[in-house]
Structure 1
Amino acid sequence: KSTLLPALLVAEGYDRIIVTQPRRLPCNMISQRVNSMVNDNISGWAVSGKEHNVQANILYMTDGLLKERLLNDDNLITENTHVKKSVVFFIDEVHERSINIDLCLALFARLLKLKPALKTKMKVIISSATLDSSVPALYRNIPGCSLIEFNLVSLSTLYTVTVNDAPKENLLDLVQRLYSKRNRHDQILCFVGSTFETLENCRLINKITKGAIVAYPLIQSQSAIDQQKYIEQGTVFFSTTVAETSLTFPCLKYVIDTGLINMPVYSLQLERTELQEIKAAESTTKQRRGRLGRTQPGEYYALYDYTSGEQRKYPVPQICQSELVNIEFALRRSRLKTSLKEFQQYLPDKPKKEYIDDALKQLQRLGLISSSSNESFTNLGASIAKLPDFGSLPMAKAVYAALKQYRCGRDLIALSSILSVLNTSAVLKSIPIQYKRPEGDFMTLLQVMNAILMVRDAVPSKQFDLDRVCAAKGLSAAVHVINPALRRYKNLDKAFSLSDEFRELARIQSGNWENIAKALLNGFSDKVYASLKMLQGKAQQFVKYNVNQRRSNNQQQDSLNEVTEIAVIDRSSTLRTGNKGALPAPLVIARDVRYLTAVRSVSILSFVGQLESSWLEYIFSRELQLNEAEEKKLKDENILKQATQRFSQVQIQVNNRKLVFHGASGHILNAELYVRQQLVTVLNFTLVSDYPNNPHDNLTRNLKSITSMPGDLFGPLRWRWESEQQVKIRTKMHKNNGTIEVTVEGIDSQNQAVHREFMSFLSWLRTCAVIRHPNSGK
């Protein structure tokens, strides 16, 4: 359907056939296959930043590129387009139901409904191995639109495919077994749930077999050239969904399917996107099985055992489970000047109203559209709408601030280019030490980009060989990231060169982290985290520190001793420190905050940079819960008055046992630290028996045994509280009367927690039958 049908349409006299593919590599590969098949150069291809023979009769392009042209190209197809027969738009692999595919379907539906005259100029082919009924229903309901459906009752492969149920098989064991029995050129393709699993399984199979089996990853961030090279040369592959469609492996013999997909799902309640492992739909596993039987007989191994009805028939359309703010902005900035509220009528499956409302609220919170009834662009929104698409509105805001305010436009454009192709921070581990900067991951990545761009700009383009440059710079392990990042930078550079307003500003390079950080804060101010080493002494833990801190309804207000949303820095980050190493950065900004599940209590910060509190210029409020003793100490010792005088830029008050700070975020942080220090108090208590004069009392006997023991019995407890909570604990044993004096120094809520732990220990001693001496076993 992807190769032969477009060629037949050319033979039938259709003026032009534009065929979409979900990914970059198939555009190139299928185009070459068509030209080889007909022995003529009738096909070309176009992807973002790269194209070949684009005036050919058949043009293969990504569905994302077609979406952009439908949104912004007035001349793609009009009533004045001259045709002999008609232009054919061929949307392939529709079963994937990606956001770009659904938007293309909706844009064509809108075009056919609002401009009926175009029905004589164009035809739309919707092609898929399996298809939900909502897609044909969309076009069937367009007045005057003729819909012809063709369903193949049974589709057999050229060669036989044997299906094997193997739910109890270990993936890597099965790969080794199939590898040992395969013929020389047979290939093995394994479908796993995520990019991390793809890379990790490649590493593990190589390690387990001591290099005998070399496996190649197939992931979204790779270049088409790399993917094609792997497919032509490799034997074992671990892949995400990228290998499900349009790719033909020359000697594929075995497919192993875990039956799982890691899907980003937006939670409206938690206001965040989480990576959820879900069961692959029936249509998805069918596509994976369909990779086989094309060049030789194949064997499909299902590592899942789903009961009837456990799998969905079709995957949930991504537009129905994704954050919609970028789509809302794209529609408003496009030539259509529309909104999701109006546009949703053309979608095959409509997002829920509350998700559309959430997108609108986010745009208002970002300051891009007004809160008035007309919901028009603000001045900032109108300005950002003139910028190229950065794929992220926070990054677009950061770039705009860099261009207009902080004079570091080129730095942010280069930084955004590499960040846009990074879904995980794993690449940071492969970057040599000479590129790593103490300011954190942003400057490390910028250092890498600058090193490559300096070479690229110094030599003629035909002489620039990225593989050789990366090898010379020690960056070969990151070339799969740098390659698409350079393509992205080239596209952005070209777009800015066409802008009279931004052309010169985009060429200004600062290299100063303070300026770059302040620009990033314009977009990512809701991802600022303070170290609990400063606030509470937990060495590797951070807490969100800004106005946009998001809580679900069942989360409680922060107290001086407890925080509801804890974060740790990704292990790949240059700012990650060990428990016994350097102190963690006191304040950081992150691009990504990852939540693996909705109930996860600790989030992971990826792509992190260190901040100074004086750089935080935005205004917000922060509330901390006090206990009764802490509130009394604040008032009795005039701590509140002293803090107000010392930090005049911050409004500080106590209301209903809540300590409330309001002002510039950097000053709030310093004010909070001061108040915490002033609230430190000392608590003394003694562990003593209820019946100290009764030698037969269980507690009395056990306390006597403990106080007579050598060594520091409470050392681990004391070290834990001091390293994690900055609470100092001193204990003094009295052998003569079997008592233990305890002194605790911290804020009252912490002191009370320590007291409860010691009382729990005392309660245990009351019921403990025997306390053995440490040397009793010798």
Structure 2
Amino acid sequence: MPDWDYPDLPVSRKRDKILEAMRSSRVVVVVGETGSGKTTQLPKMALELVRESAKNHPGKRAGRIGCTQPRRLAATSVARRVAEEMREREGGLVGYQVRFAEKVSEQTEIKFMTDGILLAETQRDRSLRQYDTLIIDEAHERSLNIDFLLGYFHGLLERRKDLRLVISSATLDAGRFSEFYRNAPVVEVEGRTYPVEDHFLPGEQEEELRHHVARAVDWISQVDDKGDVLVFLPGEREIRDCAKLLEGRILSDTEILPVYARLSLAQQQQVFRSSERRRIVLATNVAETSLTIPGIVYVIDSGLARISRFNPGRQVQRLQIEQISQASARQRRGRCGRIREGVCLRLYDEFDLEQAPEFTDPEIRRSSLAGVVLRMKALRLGDVREFPFLDPPSPRAVAEGFRTLEEVGALESRQGELTEVGRQLARLPLDPRLGRMLLEARDRKVLGEVLIIVAGLSVMDVRERPPEKESKADEMHAAFEDPDSDFVSLLNIWHALLEFRKDDRRWHRNQLRRFCERKFLSMRRIMEWDQVARELGRLVREQYGKGPKPLPEERREWGELTE
């Protein structure tokens, strides 16, 4: 037996079967419901095998176990948890590396990291020699990074006959992974749950999400005002809105804890600390699979997520709020009923759930191929047409991607290497066309204005034309229109909104709502526009050390419009 214990989790009960599969095959797929213990226990099993192998082959240098997570918070919190279970300090036997934070030493044998960190490591060491075993966790998310890694390993396993790969997935479509790696063995692990009751609480007419969530919290509080609640929301703005509303209600013996990517790691870690008070955790889908927040009895599922999707009509990549898939709904439900009987309260009806797609589309199916080609060129992953994707893109989409990159000056020629512009675009997580607008705007000193335009193009049109009121809507929208430029029309709308701002982040919401109703504008999309603009401002500050100037109040001062 190893020097550490395995907690009583479903995956621990399959330890012998998983180890046997890993001894007999270099690639193993482990499928287990949320909460089965895959994330924390598989690395320990892999280390057990490495040490067993080292005993049988004295003098052979043992490599590390590398474990990828889709998000920073998951990588750091899981590393801390595994270190505790193995009675080790962080940065010793168990370490982690994420963007802007690293705790790894010579003694580190299990290293947790984001998938982006491992992709970056392929640039320095194409064979990833420091690793004996690589574990790709949450593979069902099928982000571009995960698909890049799965394809990269396809070739790496041919070159490195001593490398082991474990693919961990929380959904039952794992047969795809097995086929991709020549029918690799699949080990299924059941979840660990108490019974969970399902209830549906659809929204009332014109009810805002934050008020809908507050109504759901009231519903739960009437049943039990002590059990911890996890609320799934689509994004940071919705989390802040709900937090403000719930905090204003001064709920008895309750603390409100937000969890989203831009919080500092220290702030994010608060959700893992036990509390004497009831906790209401407001989270994005970061809490769907990667994180297990202890003590959750109730789940409130908004049924919404912010998804990045390419719009072929407008030729831009957009972040938009969409109904989640059935697989995501199951993951969210699986977050309660872990410590006692639970309740999942869904803020939509049963019909919506039945009509939802079974699985979330892989990111490559909803991405501009120009962005994919750009990333692959920057990561030196080879020719996109020959890369072994789990879902290969069509030749037509690839050709369109190359044409776009050539158009924006990112490639030296149709098949060539990245130009300096291309390298700069690769550092911006934006559609290449929109990124090119920002680069040009920076050179022409109109970054503040163009950033607002780019943010506006990245969300759905804020102007609304309801049936039966189209002519009235057109009349109201005419006040914003510029005869020479749709882009300036967007700036006109933004300029009109400025009088409803309290400060950089907050709005006079009631006044803004009345204005939006009068002018046939979508308040929800305006909030999204504002959030994207702030996010782009942060990216620009990170890249260039200086943020964009706000839009001047005097219209004649906008860029070079007066010339």
Shared topology, TM-score over 0.5? yes
2:135 maps to: 90
Alignment of 1:476-625 (within 5 A): 518=445, 520=447, 527=454, 541=480, 543=482, 567-569=493-495, 571=498, 572=501, 606=533, 609-610=550-551
Q: Look up the equivalent residue of 1:290 and give its one-letter code.
A: G
2:68 maps to: 20
Quick check: 1:65 aligned with 2:109? no
Secondary structure in 2 aligned to 1:325? helix
On the 8 A contact 1:161/1:298 being kept in 2, the answer is yes
Match of 2:367 among 317, 322, 338: 322
Cα deviation, residue 527, structure 1: 4.9
Alignment of 1:616-695 (within 5 A): 666=560, 669-670=561-562
1:267 maps to: 311
Quick check: 1:389 aligned with 2:427? yes
Closer, same or farther: CA 576–218 of 1 in aligned 2, 3 Å: closer
On the 8 A contact 2:333/2:344 being kept in 1, the answer is yes
1:349 maps to: 391
Closer, same or farther: CA 18–247 of 1 in aligned 2, 3 Å: same
Residues in 1 aligned to 2:69 and 2:262: alpha-carbon distance in whole angstroms = 16
Cα deviation, residue 389, structure 1: 2.9
Closer, same or farther: CA 238–134 of 1 in aligned 2, 3 Å: same
On the 8 A contact 2:288/2:335 being kept in 1, the answer is yes
Q: Look up the equivalent residue of 1:94 and give its one-letter code.
A: A
Secondary structure in 1 aligned to 2:390? coil
Quick check: 1:150 aligned with 2:187? yes
On the 8 A contact 1:283/1:314 being kept in 2, the answer is yes
On the 8 A contact 1:106/1:347 being kept in 2, the answer is yes
Closer, same or farther: CA 544–107 of 1 in aligned 2, 3 Å: farther
On the 8 A contact 2:95/2:103 being kept in 1, the answer is yes
Q: CA-atom RMSD, angstroms?
A: 4.3
Q: Look up the equivalent residue of 2:72 and give its one-letter code.
A: R
Match of 2:297 among 218, 237, 253: 253
Match of 1:218 among 256, 259, 277: 259
Cα deviation, residue 76, structure 1: 4.8
Which runs of 5 or more residues in structure 2 are unaligned?
A: 1-37, 52-62, 205-211, 457-474, 509-521, 535-548
Closer, same or farther: CA 400–203 of 1 in aligned 2, 3 Å: closer
Closer, same or farther: CA 263–374 of 1 in aligned 2, 3 Å: closer
Closer, same or farther: CA 189–32 of 1 in aligned 2, 3 Å: same
* Residues paired across the two proteins, number: 446
Residues in 2 aligned to 1:26 and 1:576: alpha-carbon distance in whole angstroms = 29
Quick check: 1:332 aligned with 2:377? yes
Residues in 2 aligned to 1:375 and 1:544: alpha-carbon distance in whole angstroms = 40
Secondary structure in 2 aligned to 1:284? helix
Alpha-carbon displacement from aligned partner over 1:352-408 (angstroms, at most 9, x marks no partner)? 5554344323322321224x5544444x44xx5389834346798699889xxxxxx
Residues in 2 aligned to 1:30 and 1:603: alpha-carbon distance in whole angstroms = 34
Residues in 2 aligned to 1:96 and 1:277: alpha-carbon distance in whole angstroms = 17
Residues in 2 aligned to 1:172 and 1:575: alpha-carbon distance in whole angstroms = 22
Quick check: 1:173 aligned with 2:221? no
Residues in 2 aligned to 1:596 and 1:545: alpha-carbon distance in whole angstroms = 28
Which structure has the larger Rg over C-alpha atoms? 1
TM-score under structure 1 length normalisation:
0.50
1:191 maps to: 232
Residues in 2 aligned to 1:278 and 1:528: alpha-carbon distance in whole angstroms = 18
2:546 maps to: none
Which runs of 5 or more residues in structure 1 are unaligned?
A: 403-514, 530-535, 551-557, 579-593, 617-665, 672-778
2:46 maps to: 9
Q: Look up the equivalent residue of 1:305 and give its one-letter code.
A: D
Residues in 2 aligned to 1:335 and 1:242: alpha-carbon distance in whole angstroms = 29
On the 8 A contact 1:396/1:523 being kept in 2, the answer is no
Higher-RCO chain (CA-CA 8 Å, sequence separation at least 6) = 2
Closer, same or farther: CA 148–325 of 1 in aligned 2, 3 Å: same
On the 8 A contact 2:127/2:156 being kept in 1, the answer is no
Residues in 2 aligned to 1:150 and 1:95: alpha-carbon distance in whole angstroms = 15
Alpha-carbon displacement from aligned partner over 1:482-526 (angstroms, at most 9, x marks no partner)? xxxxxxxxxxxxxxxxxxxxxxxxxxxxxxxxx876274999697
Residues in 1 aligned to 2:337 and 2:452: alpha-carbon distance in whole angstroms = 52
Residues in 2 aligned to 1:528 and 1:38: alpha-carbon distance in whole angstroms = 46
Secondary structure in 2 aligned to 1:518? coil
Secondary structure in 1 aligned to 2:356? coil
Q: Look up the equivalent residue of 2:214 and give its one-letter code.
A: L
Secondary structure in 2 aligned to 1:295? coil
1:163 maps to: 198
Residues in 2 aligned to 1:161 and 1:194: alpha-carbon distance in whole angstroms = 26
Closer, same or farther: CA 295–264 of 1 in aligned 2, 3 Å: same
Secondary structure in 2 aligned to 1:150? strand
Residues in 1 aligned to 2:523 and 2:167: alpha-carbon distance in whole angstroms = 36
Residues in 1 aligned to 2:232 and 2:410: alpha-carbon distance in whole angstroms = 41
Cα deviation, residue 29, structure 1: 1.7
TM-score under structure 2 length normalisation:
0.67
